[in-house]
Amino acid sequence: MRKLLLPVLLLLPWIIFSSCGRKMVRIESMYCENFVDPAGIERENPRLSWIIESSRRNQYQKAYRILVSSGIKNLKKNIGDMWDSGIVDSDQSILVAYRGRALQPATRYFWKVMIWDQDGVPADWSNTGTWLMGLTGEKDWQGAEWIGFRELPDSMRLVPGATSTDPRLGNRAAERAVIPCFRKEFTVSRKIVEASLFISGLGHYEAFINGTKIGRGFLTPGWTHYDKSVLYNCHDITELLLRGPNALGVMAGNGFYYINRERYFKLLTAFGEPSLICQLRLVFADGSVETINSDQSWKCTPSSITYSSIYGGEDFDARLEQDGWNAPGFNDSSWQSPVLINPPQGRLRAEQDHPVTVAGTIDVKKIKSLPSGGYLYDFGQNASGIPELKVKGERGKTIRLIPAELITQDGLANQKASGEPYCFSYTLKGGGVETWRPSFSYYGFRYIQIEGAAPDSCKERNDLPGIVELKMLHTRNSTPSAGYFNCSSELFNKTNDLIKWAVKSNLQSVVTDCPHREKLGWLEQTHLMGGSIHYNYNLYHLYRKIVQDMCDAQEANGFVPNFVPEYRPSSPDFRDSPEWGSAAVILPWLIYRWYGDTSVIAEAWPMMCCFADNLKSKADNDILSHGLGDWFDLGPGDPGPSQLTPKAVTATAVYYYDLVLLSRMARILDKQAEMVYYAEWAARVKKAFDSKFFNPVSCVYSTGSQTAMSMPWVVGLTDEKYREKVIQNLEDSLRAGGNSLTAGDIGFHYLVSALTESGRSRLLYEMNSRDDIPGYGYQLKKGATALTESWPALETVSNNHLMLGHLMEWFYNGLAGIRQETNSAASREIIIKPALTGDIRFVDAAFISPYGKIISQWKRDNNILQMNVTIPVNTSATIYIPAGPDAVINESGLAVEKVPGISYAGREGGRSLYRIGSGSYNFEIIN
């Protein structure tokens, strides 16, 4: 009796508050593993998160209670048969680990959460969230086989890829792989409560139930090093099934799994021909379960895709289409049984990333007839994507579509810098308007040159097929947006759009360098451009995937290559540059800082330590001097490897930074010995760096280039006593050089960071508010619609490249001033420190952190400044208000010192500092 009474007495305060308190907070959003209602979770203890909203200020969570149930009925009765956390006295609202009964594979769970605010007043229960467990082990796939149209002989297997001139190639992988269709009919005779499809197709797949496409994915699943990891997806298809006959149809494509030699290719691979594994799990109302597995009872045949290459394009012959092939009742007697394929060597893993999808449609802006025949369609925007064609004409007529991001002087598609020849082709079946889009290839383009057809409105097209409509479908990773930026400067808004289109075009299942010529996951941009991208898009899942890609690519000696997955070893510097491979250390740190996830540090710890050891083995007296250096800096020669900064400066500086981060991460993991070990190692590298590159008299590093001066300052190599002199020397050098940009891929990130952190936003403004020298304005003036690979927007290199887009980060953390404290994670402790500079009259920006939306808006008119700030529940902020010592500062019409919950925190650099809690604030400053 006493054991029962004690918990009740402990709960009385909460019950009293529940009955008489007014609910001031609510659960707005819920996440499992940072997804909304995900399918395919493999973690034994999934982490649950929620975003809290309130109309009141200074709100934070004091306690929570989570219920997890195996069924919705129990949850509605407030029964957590899997886990009832009880009331936990904690302010944690992100990544709360499940601590209940063992979770079963391929099983759905339901959850909800209640929270109490700082006064002990409970919110209402949240809405219901769910997650579906994946197939967590090989045994869970029992009965499912890898099937294909044919097996690739071992003699033709080509892993890793090689160049076309490599003598090892011989006749390997010399013929086209068949792009097959698979189908399986089955009958549903009882009521189904849930149907889940677990599926992987290599390289990619499209799946259908009863003729309806499953999911929104394009190029699904994401590409990996297939000998290490193979991704599968989980789809809820309950609503697509019928009582009676049903049909499951799947088409598998090449992707990076098999790259054809025909047309353009950056590299070649032949892991195997397209293949498939799947398991359809049917859960009936009576609790019974039936599985339908991929095996030789299926049927298969070549599809209507006659050529497909991730690098060369795609051909489709509509005459070969078999209507209804993915619907029940189709006569598949002429189809053959699939062959059993040797399983890929990589481990099957659930794809824990947002799929690549069609993210938008771009209509044609202009159509021009070409003197040489044909037509040029101009969509007005350079972007990653595919065409969608609507056409009518005679059976057997073939249309050729040549995409390009540039055009020649004659107005023809220009693929010289983006990979040629690349094209799509479509052969008509005849009989009305036909609609087609490619399934397994994409390109970066603005223009499409049409051969063999004419606009349907053209009166003189004779017997040519008529194009009824041609659109661009922009394809990218569907990760949610995380922010927006707008200001009074039209040039900066256009610059933001310029960079953003390059970012969007290169967010795929890796962060590619360009969406046409290479499509490879070069690593330096993931950390150097990480800040810019993460203000715009949620990078959590994509970056976790890249960390796994690096683990898969790491060699036994600790080496991590410049791009992952690595399908083709490159020449030494293009394969081994410390600034690139250091993503192995920097990315786990960034994921922790941005999202508060320590598990990625723990999981990546062995990889990070081995990578540091590999760098050590290549150092000469603690100095690294190999690699590409400050790639594409603006020097006297053609862009390429570093011209203005010795490679050893950037290589050794990032080496030092890796060691500093390892020491910090060791502290987070409570690895005290390792924390000291890496700190002492970093000190030795710093000593060597200073001795070789720093002049303490002049306070100049190495050549004094923009990169040489800014990178050591940002990564912490500059002693405190020299910091002001070094940054002043950098400013003086910039002004002496006419505020021109010369830093490249590596250095410009650090230049922007150094000028932002040192309060020199005015200089950044002046450097980038012009179009007369190579830079953003110059590119826009030349007509670029996406950021280009080179500062002067050369036509000889890619014109859709995100690697120089670092100014975007300054738009958010400089002009809008949205940052977090040095020791904060997941933006728990926020800084709002806007830079009022140049002739900018207003800024409006927002960023969605793991705790909710942060808003920073300011507007100035003569001597009056208005600042509007929103801080999420469960966080706090320091506001840096630009104000003289005698300025009048009001908040919502009251003198700021009279407003409850706002505390004065002193002055710094001509600003008054105030500490605030959550809520929305409206400051008016009269100077």
What CATH number corresponds to the domain at position 783?
A: 1.50.10.10
Instruction: Look up the CATH number of the domain holding residue 310.
Output: 2.60.120.260
Percent of the chain past pLDDT 90, that is, above it, reads 93
Q: Is 120 left (phi over 0), alpha (psi -120 to 50) or beta?
A: left
The closest alpha carbon to 255, from 504, 439, 445, belongs to: 439
User: How many C-beta atoms surround the C-beta of residue 57 within 10 A?
Assistant: 17
CA end-to-end distance (rounded Å), the chain:
68
Give the count of alpha carbons within 13 A of 771, CB side only: 13
Question: Has residue 820 been placed in a domain?
Answer: no
Express each pLDDT in 717-761 by its tens digit.
Answer: 999 999 999 999 999 999 999 999 999 999 999 999 999 999 999
Q: Which of these three, 325, 353, 381, is where a domain ends? A: 353
CB 167 within 8 A of CB 178: no
158 versus 492: which is more confidently predicted?
492
- Say yes or no: 492 and 450 in one domain: no
DSSP per residue, 78-98: T--SSEE---EE----SSEEP
Angstrom distance (rounded) from CA 322 to CA 429? 11
**Pairing mode of beta strands 829-832, 876-882:** parallel
- Say yes or no: 218 and 272 in one domain: yes
255: DSSP letter = T
Question: Has residue 263 been placed in a domain?
Answer: yes
Instruction: Look up the CATH number of the domain holding residue 886.
Output: 2.60.420.10
Residue 10 pLDDT grade (very low, low, confident, very high; cuts 50, 70, 90): very low
Residue 344 neighbours by CB under 8 Å, 6+ apart: 146, 202, 226, 227, 230, 271, 272, 275
Mean pLDDT of the chain: 96
Question: Has residue 824 been placed in a domain?
Answer: no
Question: Has residue 63 been placed in a domain?
Answer: no
- Say yes or no: 589 and 720 in one domain: yes
pLDDT of the residue at 100: 98
Residue 274 neighbours by CB under 8 Å, 6+ apart: 148, 149, 177, 178, 179, 180, 201, 202, 203, 252, 253, 254, 257, 258
Phi, psi (degrees; rounded to nearest 5) at 860: -125, 140
pLDDT of the residue at 18: 39
Angstrom distance (rounded) from CA 169 to CA 408? 35
The closest alpha carbon to 817, from 843, 792, 842, 835, belongs to: 835
591 versus 171: which is more confidently predicted?
591
Please determine, for residue 13, whether its predicted confidence score (pLDDT) is greater than 50.
no
- Say yes or no: 469 and 502 in one domain: no
Angstrom distance (rounded) from CA 606 to CA 618? 19
CB 457 within 8 A of CB 334: no
Residue 414 neighbours by CB under 8 Å, 6+ apart: 404, 405, 406, 407, 408, 795
- Say yes or no: 40 and 181 in one domain: no
Average pLDDT estimate for 514-526: 98
The closest alpha carbon to 461, from 394, 410, 404, belongs to: 394
- Say yes or no: 797 and 852 in one domain: no
In one-letter notation, the amino acid at residue 257 is Y
Burial (CB < 10 A; 0-12, 13-18, 19+), residue 599, is middle
Q: Which of these three, 353, 375, 404, is where a domain ends? A: 353
User: Count of domains in the chain?
Assistant: 5
Alpha helices in 537-637 (DSSP H): 540-553, 572-575, 578-581, 583-595, 599-618
CB 444 within 8 A of CB 437: no
Q: In angstroms, what CA-CA distances link 643 with 578, 695, 733? A: 17, 21, 17
Question: Has residue 823 been placed in a domain?
Answer: no
β-partners of residue 369 are 375
Residue 622 neighbours by CB under 8 Å, 6+ apart: 652, 684, 685, 687, 688, 689
The closest alpha carbon to 117, from 54, 66, 67, belongs to: 54
- Say yes or no: 85 and 24 in one domain: yes
Average pLDDT estimate for 764-792: 98
CB 474 within 8 A of CB 834: no
Average pLDDT estimate for 630-634: 98
814: DSSP letter = I
pLDDT of the residue at 459: 84
724 alpha carbon, distance to own chain's centre: 36
Phi, psi (degrees; rounded to nearest 5) at 923: -100, 145
918 alpha carbon, distance to own chain's centre: 29
CB 225 within 8 A of CB 193: no
Please determine, for residue 167, whether its predicted confidence score (pLDDT) is greater than 70.
no
Give the strands of the sheet with 911-916, arranged side by side.
818-820, 829-832, 876-882, 911-916, 903-908
- Say yes or no: 605 and 550 in one domain: yes
User: How many C-beta atoms surround the C-beta of residue 335 within 10 A?
Assistant: 19
Angstrom distance (rounded) from CA 257 to CA 275? 10
CA dihedral in degrees (198, 202, 205, 207; nearest 10)? -40
Tokens matching residue 587 = 């990315």
- Say yes or no: 395 and 531 in one domain: no
For residue 208, what are the domain limits?
A: 138-353
Question: Has residue 822 been placed in a domain?
Answer: no
Residue 159 pLDDT grade (very low, low, confident, very high; cuts 50, 70, 90): confident
Burial (CB < 10 A; 0-12, 13-18, 19+), residue 795, is middle
- Say yes or no: 727 and 645 in one domain: yes
- Say yes or no: 771 and 862 in one domain: no
Angstrom distance (rounded) from CA 555 to CA 231? 21
344: DSSP letter = P
The closest alpha carbon to 277, from 326, 228, 344, belongs to: 344
Tokens matching residue 698 = 């002049």
Q: Which of these three, 477, 499, 516, is where a domain ends? A: 477
Angstrom distance (rounded) from CA 69 to CA 110? 5
Question: Has residue 821 been placed in a domain?
Answer: no
Alpha helices in 554-598 (DSSP H): 572-575, 578-581, 583-595
- Say yes or no: 159 and 306 in one domain: yes
Residue 22 pLDDT grade (very low, low, confident, very high; cuts 50, 70, 90): low
Residue 852 pLDDT grade (very low, low, confident, very high; cuts 50, 70, 90): very high
398 alpha carbon, distance to own chain's centre: 37
Please determine, for residue 164, whether its predicted confidence score (pLDDT) is greater than 70.
no
Instruction: Look up the CATH number of the domain holding residue 26.
Output: 2.60.40.10
β-partners of residue 474 are 360, 385
Express each pLDDT in 67-95 by its tens digit.
Answer: 999 999 999 999 999 999 999 999 999 99
Residue 166 pLDDT grade (very low, low, confident, very high; cuts 50, 70, 90): low
Tokens matching residue 565 = 């997955």
CB 751 within 8 A of CB 731: no
pLDDT of the residue at 11: 41
Question: Has residue 62 been placed in a domain?
Answer: no
Predicted TM-score (pTM) of the model is 0.96
Tokens matching residue 675 = 């924390």
The closest alpha carbon to 92, from 541, 596, 831, belongs to: 596
In one-letter notation, the amino acid at residue 252 is A
